[in-house]
């Protein structure tokens, strides 16, 4: 069964995703931005950048015709209402747990790559503080632990800390984070809330590097870090930068899983 896809955006994953879908016999339009005149024709499957904000996704569905399927990230409540009114089937790919777990691996590898390129010492033996122990936090801890870094997990969640300790990691409560931050030469934040504030930044070593990969505005007071001379960066879309081919396969599989479920087909079948 051949389907019609439109893949939008300049993310390097898109070319590989288009190649994967075409290899499966589908029609694919690859564009930097969504192009009319199709306007989301009935049955069209549109893949938007995962970096788009909920508001931007709402604005997109307001502009396209009904009857299409849209894959992207989160959307506003108003956007959901628009989709219902226009019979648009909207899927938040970041709600697919399998996809997020798979995508955490290239994210963690990309963090490691950045750390190697921008720190002045070996990862071996480096004190590393990972804020949050969700899917990306777990993958990041595995990668840096495999390099024999001294990894400490910071989390407010009791079960996350217990799991980190069961994996042989040091784990402390978020409210006690300064104990770990003052020793760290690398801080990796995965929590989408302001948790590394001025008071936390002030206790860090001057040579410490902060990598924030959290969604939205992140969780770091970047102004304070800059004033105190600390290097702090927020990095988005890491899989598309460091492992676009693998990331594209994860996206394709996620899209297929969703379509299979809606059509009542087995996940082993192919279009």
pLDDT at 268: 45
Instruction: Using the predicted structure, report yes or no on whether residue 243 has a pLDDT greater than 50.
Output: yes
Question: By the 8 A CB rule, do 115 and 209 touch?
Answer: yes
State the pLDDT confidence band at 252, using cuts at 50, 70 and 90.
very high
Beta-bridged to residue 154, according to DSSP, are 131, 172
pLDDT at 72: 95
Neighbours of 155 (CB within 10 A): 24
Q: Name 146's Cβ contacts closer than 8 Å, sequence gap at least 6.
A: none
Per-residue pLDDT, averaged over 97-123, amounts to 96
- What mean pLDDT is reported for the chain? 92
pLDDT at 39: 53
Whole-model pTM over 0.85: yes
Per-residue pLDDT, averaged over 40-46, amounts to 76
Per residue in 159-209, pLDDT (tens digit) is 999 999 999 999 999 999 988 999 999 999 999 999 999 999 999 999 999
State the pLDDT confidence band at 254, using cuts at 50, 70 and 90.
very high
State the pLDDT confidence band at 266, using cuts at 50, 70 and 90.
very low
pLDDT at 260: 87
pLDDT at 267: 45
Instruction: Using the predicted structure, report yes or no on whether residue 43 has a pLDDT greater than 90.
Output: no
DSSP 39-61: SS-TT-EEE--TT--HHHHHHHH
Residue 46 structure tokens: 């549109």
Instruction: Using the predicted structure, report yes or no on whether residue 56 has a pLDDT greater than 70.
Output: yes
Interatomic CA distance for residues 240 and 208, integer angstroms? 26
Residue 120 structure tokens: 């002045």
pLDDT at 31: 87
State the pLDDT confidence band at 217, using cuts at 50, 70 and 90.
confident
Residue 48 structure tokens: 């938007």
């Amino acid at each position: 069964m051949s389907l019609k896809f439109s893949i939008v955006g300049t993310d390097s994953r898109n070319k590989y995703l288009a190649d994967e879908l075409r290899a499966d016999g589908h029609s694919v339009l690859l564009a930097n931005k969504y192009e009319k005149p199709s306007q989301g024709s009935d049955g069209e499957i549109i893949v938007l950048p995962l970096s788009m904000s909920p508001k931007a996704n709402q604005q997109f569905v307001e502009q396209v015709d009904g009857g299409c399927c849209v894959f992207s990230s989160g959307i506003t409540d108003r956007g959901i209402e628009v989709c219902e009114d226009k019979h648009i089937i909207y899927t938040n790919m970041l709600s697919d747990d399998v996809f997020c777990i798979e995508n955490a691996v290239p994210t963690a590898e990309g963090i490691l790559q950045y750390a190697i390129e921008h720190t002045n010492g070996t990862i071996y033996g480096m004190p590393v503080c990972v804020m949050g122990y969700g899917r990306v936090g777990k993958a990041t801890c595995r990668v840096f632990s495999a390099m024999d870094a001294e990894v400490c997990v910071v989390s407010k969640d009791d079960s996350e800390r217990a799991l980190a300790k069961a994996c042989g990691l040091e784990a402390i409560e978020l409210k006690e984070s300064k104990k770990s931050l003052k020793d760290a030469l690398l801080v990796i934040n995965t929590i989408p809330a302001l948790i590394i504030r001025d008071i936390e930044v002030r206790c860090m070593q001057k040579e410490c590097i902060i990598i924030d990969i959290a969604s939205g505005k992140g969780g770091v007071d970047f102004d304070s870090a800059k004033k105190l001379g600390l290097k702090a960066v927020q990095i988005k879309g890491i899989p598309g930068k460091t492992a676009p081919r693998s990331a594209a396969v994860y996206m394709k599989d996620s899209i297929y899983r969703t379509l299979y479920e809606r059509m009542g087909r087995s996940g082993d079948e192919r279009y």
